[in-house]
Structure 1
């Protein structure tokens, strides 16, 4: 608010946050010093408030480095930058992060429209600095890139590099999660029983799973390039009250460009040395002792591993055997480019069709 009052930053929620006090912080939801996430109320609606601090995947490798809030300088673009220069800046930034996609010009227009808070057709320096700072945050960039199919949280507004998103009611595939302090104490079989006990009815799980498969489809050669889920866990995926799938944590998703940059020239002895995030593993060329850019396991295979427990429990008997067979086939998919395209689409569509046939024309669809 101090920076807003000085005219350094701007945004659609600044007035509500700093003057009218209608955007309220409630509880801190993050235990990481590098990530500030709060539940909040905005005009009587429950929201999530996130403050841009430091990237999850970068920060995780240096747990001791506690970032300082004042490190965000809002120093770009500089005074005197023309509108055309700013558009060029945005386009080059998107190219380096998402690859040279034909659709980037449309994304630039969307960013400009979002930056123009007062809708006067111009972007002020404060508006430009705020949107530029936001774009440096991986999650914000992904939210913009993956908004079309509504599998991510809706972006509701921003102020400087703070942004507000809708609250996803269920932040785990199972609808309930074992409290952190109990997780290490309970054996995995107990976790499984708790999950099964509280999980939605099977047809609802099938609907959520179809949404998750659609998300995998969307991020594989989507409008803005290729994306990888780098921590495939039921805790990063959830759903809303209509049982529509929602990706809860986009911080665990990376663009192909990011991963390529990470792998380029990286020394390795074995595949595990070429791991980005938790489970985005590429192959190691053992002769050259360098990482290659082929993923060992594609998104789809990892997601099917997640869906195996989720869908087989309580599945209709007439479907169970076929479902198990298809999930097994899916889990053996390799990330090698040669077998990607056709095979993947086939496996994915077969799974979606199998599930959809079972729940279409019922109250669950």
Structure 2
């Protein structure tokens, strides 16, 4: 299996040693091109399958001239590492969670705020509008191009100790969060002790009692097998923050115009492919965790919304974030 160290040492990543402004020999020639893509999720995860579909479509439409080699299951490292690798051209494409982008790309904060979306349907309506174009275009300031915005479901709390029904139930609990100020501050406001960890470290963190639980979507809860360590799933639905598919601006601009247009178009079309897979796999995941004995409970939603409001108000003091937030709420 390829890992990040082997990858960076291989000829695939040889472009790192060249000046960043230089273009490889295949640039703008129409020569065969192999694009590398990464994802921390497992092989059958909907985002992985969607990128695989993009690769299959590109290969078919270009008679094999344009292909994607996909490294899933975190083979090339964490999301934060993948973002930097794409920015500097060591890889071409990566799918990352929007929360991992908040600090470097502030407009993504509007997508990650607590209770900005009411449901999956609300999120999809908003992301099918030009709101997604505004967010995707913002990546070009730092060497990336946004290709598509994928679903990531409703993020909820899960833990090994007890059902979470009100914010007070989280008091003192150590909860894994992604490395995003929004999620760290939200958990702190809810009375928990936020613990930033990578997805890959979460299972062992619960097993060793370094943390009590985490928050994530149901599909990831299942695919990561966290349900084996945490038997309580509490449907707080505090975030529907999506995933974002990115490509290195250097890699995209090096393609011939027709291939560039094909890639951009195919990436947008992959959103519906991903959604179809997501809906089906989420049903499978819910049945699987119930069969395993996980207890699912509703929460006091007004209490959670009230507890999250100070954080929401803090971010809405930023004009750009407030503007996007209001446009998103128009689709509720």
- Find the structure with the greater CA-based Rg: 1
Normalised by the length of structure 1, the TM-score is 0.27
Greater relative CO, 1 or 2 (CA 8 Å, sep 6+): 2
TM-score in terms of structure 2 length? 0.29
